[in-house]
Structure 1
Amino acid sequence: MTDTLLSLCIPTNGILEWVKPVVESIYKNTYIDESLYEVIVTDNGSNSDFAVFMEEISRKHDNLLYKKTQANGFLNQIECFKLAKGEYIKFINHRMKLVDGSLSYLINFVEKFQKDKPVTYFLNGSLNLPQSSSYNSFDSFMNALSYYSSWSGGIGIWKEDFLAIKDFNDISNLFPHFVFLTSNMKSDQYIIDNRTLLESIDDDSSKKGRYNLFYAFAVEYPGILLDLLRKKQISSDTFLHIKNGLKGFLAELYLDFVIRKKKSSYELTNASQYLGVFFDLQDLLVSMSKKLTRKVLHKVRVRLK
């Protein structure tokens, strides 16, 4: 039997309307030998209908593992990765299905790089970068990623690097994927793969999570970056570059969820307090004003067409 090359890990809280099309998008590739890859779904939710669906589909596919877990929130990612047997482990967000050809591409990626094992981040077309970019240091890699390193959906890790991680205790509850992103700091080959491999099923913010949005992105995430800076794993230029990009992202979040009161499941208390930990509030207000002006101008242009 062929060794498993790829593990697709889908940690979830059991929302059937999301995970069902994600799993189906994987298994629609009936021409691909299922022994080449595996699918692992770890469920920390309480949806009995979801459990029934997963148990039914797992009986049809020997390479699918479904497991209930008590892991809290995003730490479910860790539990899912621990079950993986593939040479390369790829995180799949439970709201993003594979586009046609993605499974073949990922399997070919593993076959191509299984000797060199570069640290790779799958950006999914999120930035204006080539389809594939190489970097020779963690610092230049992080600089290119900017604040998109906060997105766990781009994460993948070689099983060899995963097994080398000794401690999963001292990690961020909100961004546990950083333990994978920083697992091989001695690598001299980093890749940002910017091909669009996934497409979102549902961007409804009312269902995305119940964590404090501004604590996560204005305190916890820049705190992780500051720790990397203090350890001299990233440069001050990279830290400031990511922080500047993050400022615009936070301004947009504040406009959407605090000022416009867009419906969401996020906790939004103490937003101004959290924004003031790493950022100047007056500077953020200027960013918000610029973003608001651009959106208004865009709407005017659309109406004039």
Structure 2
Amino acid sequence: MYGEDKKIILSICIPCYGRVDYVRNTLKSIFIDNADVALDEYEVVISDNDPKQAIKQLAEEFKGYSNLKYYHTSCEGFMNSYYVLTYGNGEFLKLHNSQTLFKKGALRAIIDEIKKYRDSHALIFYTNGLLHKFKSKEYDTFNDFMYHLSYWSSWSNGFNIWKDDFKKLGDIKLNKLFPHTSIFLTQNNAKKYCINDVILFDVQRIPKRGGHNKFEAFTIEYPSLIDDCYKKGNIDERTKKHILKGIMCEFLPSLIFNKYIAKIETFESTGFKKNIKVYFPSYSYYLVLILSVFQPIRLSVRRLLSYIKS
């Protein structure tokens, strides 16, 4: 049974807005596929900012799991990624995308890693094989950590923070599109840093995914956070350039490919040609267009490597 008197190790914090079937699958992957983990070791926290509260029905469907907590909040958009963390009571808060499934054994692996780093309070980030390293690696400095993490520091599903460190944040300015990254970049004085690139999750693909200007998010909003991190002296110029190069040569071409070539996403792109000039070289727009043509090759290699390792 889920005991209130026992300290919860992990809070899986899931911000939600609709997509009931996807969230249901995610909950099944936690409670059923990872049933070997005792309920009193972790909790699942849902923060629903949909006025219709469609997700609330899942609290009834999964009422047999006493460590599932449902909250409704009136915050807008991505700010739910912050508010869901405020509801977590575990030692370790993991932000988790609503459509991302836990592989069998993943929950136990994460909890064991939390126990390993309890004393050092290492800053841990999960990249799920996206770096093609497929293992955990420790870093001594925040700058080195950020260099190897590159633009994936923007990925909400990889974000984690210790509850004690979260409570110390105080009143900080949160970027409206990247509140979790705003928090993450304040954790630059950790004793140790760890990137876990083991494949722990499966992502449910959402057809025609869209809803905001993702091109502006990665030409203006996220680069502004990285630039501010550099100006504060938390990363050096080499790391800043490396992260921006990754956005320009990898991430933005994938957005172009998904929207205009494969037509599997519908993110808004208004102002892209103008916005890319703010933090990137003058030739960036045309380079991104050229590189987008080669995305099928890059994706095929990534899928092959992931398949081999999984």
Normalising by the residue count of structure 2, what TM-score does the alignment of the two structures yield? 0.88
| Distance across 2 between alignment mates of 1:185 and 1:225 | 13
The C-alpha deviation readout for 1:200-259, integer Å capped at 9, x for no partner, is: 11243x23x4111111000111111110111111100000011111101213322432x4
Q: Which amino acid aligns with 1:104?
A: R
Following superposition, the deviation at residue 289 of structure 1 comes to 1.8
Inter-partner Cα distance in structure 2 for 1:282 and 1:111: 47
Is 1:191 matched up with 2:218?
A: no
Number of the residue aligned with 2:91:
87
1:266 shift after superposition: 1.9
- Paired residue for 1:17? 21
Report the secondary structure of 2:131's partner residue.
coil
Taking the aligned partners of 2:157 and 2:298, their CA distance within structure 1 comes to: 32
SS at match of 2:46: strand
Q: Which residue of 2 aligns with 1:55?
A: 60
Distance apart, 1:182 and its partner CA? 2.4
Which residue does the alignment assign to 2:243?
A: 242
CA–CA separation in structure 2 for the residues paired with 1:64 and 1:32: 14
The equivalent of 1:100 in structure 2 is 104
Task: Tell me the SS of whatever aligns to 2:293.
Answer: helix
Deviations, residues 59-112 of structure 1 (Å, cap 9, x unaligned): 322211001111111110111100111001111111101000011111111222
Range with bigger deviation, 177-186 or 105-114: 177-186
How many aligned residue pairs are there? 294
Match for 1:89: what amino acid? Answer: L
1:7 to partner: Cα distance = 0.4
In structure 2, distance between residues paired with 1:14 and 1:171: 24
SS at match of 2:55: helix
Q: How far apart are the structure 2 equivalents of 1:122 and 1:298?
A: 20
Give how far 1:278 is off.
1.7
Distance 2:6 2:86 in 1: 21
Matched with 1:6 is: 10
Pairwise CA distance, 1:295 = 4.1
Instruction: Give distance in 1, aligned partners of 2:52 and 2:298.
Output: 44
Identity of aligned residues (%): 29
> How big is the shift at 1:128?
2.3
Matches within 5 A, 1:149-160: 149-160=153-164
**Residue pair 1:41, 1:67 contacting (<8 A) in 2 also:** yes
1:228 counterpart residue number: 229
Q: Which among 30, 41, 44 is matched to residue 46 of structure 2?
A: 41
The answer for the alignment partner of 2:305 in structure 1 is: none
Give 4+ residue runs of structure 1 displaced > 3 Å after superposition.
46-49, 293-299
Please say if residues 162 and 183 of structure 1, whose CA atoms lie closer than 8 Å, have aligned partners that are also in contact. Answer: no
Alignment correspondent of 2:307: none
Q: Kindly indicate whether the alpha-carbon contact (under 8 Å) linking 2:59 and 2:68 is maintained by their aligned counterparts in 1.
A: no
d(CA) in 2 for partners of 1:152, 1:254:
21
In structure 1, the residue matched to 2:211 is 210
State the distance in 2 between where 1:50 and 1:80 align.
14
Please state how far the C-alpha of 1:43 moved relative to its aligned partner.
Answer: 0.6
CA distance in 2, matches of 1:254, 1:202: 17
Aligned to 2:255: 253
Letter in 2 for 1:275: I
SS in 1 for 2:170: coil
Match of 2:168 among 142, 164, 170: 164
Gaps of 5+ in 2: 301-310
After TM superposition, the structure 1 stretch with the greater mean CA deviation from structure 2, 11-20 or 276-285, is: 276-285
More deviation in 246-255 or 136-145? Answer: 246-255
Task: Say whether the 8 Å CA contact 2:17–2:49 is kept in structure 1.
Answer: yes
Q: 1:115 deviation in Å?
A: 1.1
Q: Secondary structure at the match of 2:233?
A: coil
Contact 2:128 2:134 in 1 (8 A): no
How far apart in 2 are the matches of 1:148 and 1:297?
Answer: 17
CA distance in 1, matches of 2:276, 2:164: 38
Match of 1:14, SS state, is coil
Structure 1 residues not aligned, in runs of 5+:
300-305
- Match of 1:33, as an amino acid? A
Distance 1:264-1:31 versus aligned 2 partners, 3 A rule: closer
Cα distance change on mapping 1:297 and 1:224 into 2, 3 Å: closer
CA deviation after TM superposition for structure 1 residue 163, in Å: 0.8
Q: What is the TM-score of this pair, normalised by structure 1?
A: 0.90
